[in-house]
Amino acid sequence: MSTTRAVCTEPLEVGSDIAGEPYSISVLKEGYSLAQPDGSTRADGTISLLQGPKIILVDTGGPWDRDFLLDQLKKKGLDPGDINIVVGTHGHSDHIGNLGLFPEATLVVGCDMSQGDRYLPNQLAEGRPHPIDDHVSILPTPGHTGRDVSVLVTGTSVGVVLVAGDLFENSADEDTWRELSENPAVQEVSRQGALRTADVIIPGHGPPFRVRRHPIKGI
């Protein structure tokens, strides 16, 4: 007899703010991806803000979000210069379109980490997590591109949160994520790891969702 686990997902019902100690998380913009009748797709990436010992922005939306992002930060009492770290989960324009607003922050784009023109050594590309502090870690989660990262946050009111970029498009992407993936086999491994670790996932193009893990007895 063996025990296995089934994973299902369900919407998170806490609005756009997740309380936490020491880090709270605000979804400043919920990403979307909408197929258009002419064959194009309208899409924008989720923008998330972590507020705690450090102020961390995870993804910046597209360049068209510039004024929206500045306005959202202002509503939180923040200027761009207050952001300590900006993490771009991967190098697609709808996720890193506003890096230029944050020249003073430590910038992480995929596995590249820089302060100004100084590039910092790290082992994300070798598959090693990069801790920011005891509660926030940058994790390598490749597959959608070769060098995606996600941000893991512990100590929130909903448990362990993974801000996942396009590792997950949305809570119901099982039929769609592979066609957007540079390496589906690698991404599948990254996704399974995320589903084992996170209580809540903030995906790149949809609202946050809760991960439920159910022990099942089998033969």
The binding site for Fe ion (CB under 5 A) comprises: 92, 166
Q: Which is closer to Fe ion, CB of 61 or CB of 80?
A: 61
Q: Which is nearer to Fe ion, 73 or 148 (CB)?
A: 148
Smallest separation, CB 166 to Fe ion (Å): 4
CB of 156 or CB of 171, closer to Fe ion? 171
**Cβ count near 154 (within 10 Å):** 15
Asked whether the bond before 207 is cis by omega within 30 degrees of 0, the reply is no
Q: How far is the CB of 35 from Fe ion (least distance, A)?
A: 15
- Report in angstroms how near the CB of residue 174 gets to Fe ion at its nearest: 17
- Sign of the dihedral through C-alpha 74, 94, 104, 21: positive
In whole angstroms, the minimum distance from the beta carbon of 129 to Fe ion comes to: 21
Residue with nearest beta carbon to Fe ion: 92
Cβ burial, residue 146 (10 Å; 0-12/13-18/19+)? middle
Cα 29 from Cα 93, distance rounded (Å): 15
Q: Rounded to whole angstroms, how far apart are CA atoms 213 and 56?
A: 29
CB 156 within 8 A of CB 193: no
Beta carbon nearer to Fe ion, 92 or 210: 92
